[in-house]
Amino acid sequence: MINSISPLDADNSGILVFKDLHKRFGDIAVLKGVSGKLVPGQISAFVGPNGAGKTTLFQLLTGELKPDRGSATLNGQNILGSSPYRLAGRGIGKLFQDVRAFPNLSILDNVIVAIVARQSYRDKPFDFGLVRNGRSQVLAKKAREYLSRVGFDANEEALAKNLSWGNQKLLALARLLAGEFRCVFLDEPIAGISTLMANRMVPLIRELAEAGVAVALIEHEITFVESLANDVIVMNEGVVIDSGSASEVLSHAETREICLGL
Ligand SMILES: Nc1ncnc2c1ncn2[C@@H]1O[C@H](COP(=O)(O)OP(=O)(O)O)[C@@H](O)[C@H]1O
Ligand SMILES: [Mg+2]
């Protein structure tokens, strides 16, 4: 029975710990007391039907939105109320449904931006001039390394806006690697891409975790969740209703019904 399962144990052993997060939009309570943690080297998959509040939770933890109530800390320090930019400087990266590359920059420059941003956002505002003037061979070489790690084979001088959706996602992943974050949020990274592209991305997500990054993933495709996640958090209507390993949560009839309609 799902009701007998205790809530996530939100102690202080995770790098990122959140407790009792609440968020409403007007009359609608979208999050009603969500707690959990992200652990270095682990992939935590957030699953549940559309409207469960998964994206809203990620937006609270990456500085896009502020909660009405609750707490969230990174290594014991509060993160709520900080801008996405500040949080990136503190090691929190994201790949959201809207992948947000710079459309009028080339592939290579987009990755260079991510490298320069990592070097600059820790203490001063980001300066685009640094990218244009600073396109040294050193930066270009580093950027190419990230592109080759994700298996990017399109022309590096093509503009980001002309890429296929799958290649935009790969580019976003290359930029995420270039950010060298400690904790990353991936909101449906493989939704809407070909199986070929998805099969390229899955091992890269695993590699991020193997490198010690705490990975939070929203994913609907249950086979990917089973192959990737160390921990599955099932959300429905703004609360966590189940958590555990993929096989554990899928052994619960109510979770299967809510997540898979089975
Ligand atoms: N900016 C917003 N303003 C109003 N309602 C929102 C906003 N963002 C999300 N919602 C609502 O919050 C609920 C949860 O959305 P979301 O967090 O996107 O769920 P999920 O990612 O699990 O599908 C939905 O009912 C959605 O319509
Ligand atoms: Mg969503």
Q: Convert the pLDDT of each residue in 55-107 to its tens digit.
A: 999 999 999 999 999 999 999 999 999 998 889 888 999 998 776 788 999 99
**Count of domains observed in the chain:** 1
Whose alpha carbon is nearest atom 5 of ligand 1?
A: 25
Predicted structure pTM score = 0.88
Identify whether 204 is part of a domain. yes
Beta bridge partners of 77: 74
What residues flank ligand 1, with Cβ below 6 Å? Answer: 25, 30, 48, 50-56
Tokens of 64: 């896009």
- Beta bridge partner(s), residue 186: 95, 217
- The pLDDT, as a whole number, for residue 69 is 97
Which ligand number lies closest to the CA of residue 48? 1
d(CA 36, CA 22): 13
Radius of gyration, CA atoms only, the chain: 19
Q: Residue 123 — very low, low, confident or very high, per pLDDT cuts 50/70/90?
A: low
For residue 115, is it within any domain?
yes
Average pLDDT over residues 143-152: 92
Q: What's the CA gap between 30 and 45, in Å, rounded?
A: 19
Atom 1 of ligand 1: nearest residue by CA position: 25
Residue 128, both tokens: 């685009």
The span from the first CA to the last CA of the chain, in angstroms, equals 16
* CA 132–ligand 1 middle distance (angstroms): 38
Going by C-beta distance under 8 Å and a sequence separation of 6 or more, which residues neighbour residue 134? 112, 116
Q: Which atom of ligand 1 is nearest to the CA of 59?
A: 17
CA–centroid distance, 105 to ligand 2, in Å, is 27
- pLDDT confidence band for 3 (50 / 70 / 90): very low
CB burial of 99-120 (b: ≥16 within 10 Å; e: otherwise) equals: bebbeebbbbbbbbbbbbbbee
Give the CATH number of the domain where residue 194 resides: 3.40.50.300
Residue given tokens 């898979």 in the structure block: 260
In a domain? residue 1: no
pLDDT digits (tens, 9 = 90+) for 161-214: 999 888 888 899 999 999 889 999 999 988 888 888 888 889 999 999 999 999
**Closest ligand 1 atom, CA of 218?**
21
For the chain, what is the mean pLDDT?
87
In order of 52, 107, 149, 166, 235, the CA distances from 193 in angstroms are 23, 19, 19, 5, 24
Nearest atom, ligand 1, residue 57 CA: 17
> Ligand 2 centre and the CA of 139: distance in Å?
34
Among protein residues, the one with the nearest Cα to ligand 1's atom 6 is 25
pLDDT tens digits, one per residue of 4-50: 333 444 444 568 999 999 999 999 999 999 999 999 999 999 999 99
Q: Whose CA is nearest to atom 18 of ligand 1?
A: 55
Centroid of ligand 2 to alpha carbon of 46 (angstroms): 10
Cα(55) to ligand 1 centroid in Å equals: 7
In this structure, which residue's CA is closest to atom 2 in ligand 1? 25
Are the C-beta atoms of residues 92 and 62 closer than 8 Å to each other?
Answer: yes
Let me know if residue 4 belongs to a domain.
no
What spacing in Å lies between the alpha carbon of 147 and ligand 1's midpoint?
A: 33
Ligand whose nearest atom lies closest to the CA of 52: 1
Domain of 30, in residue numbers? 9-260
Q: How many CB atoms lie within 10 A of CB 140?
A: 16
d(CA 100, CA 117): 14
Q: 125 pLDDT exceeds 60?
A: no
Q: Is 87 a domain residue?
A: yes
Q: Is residue 2 part of a domain?
A: no
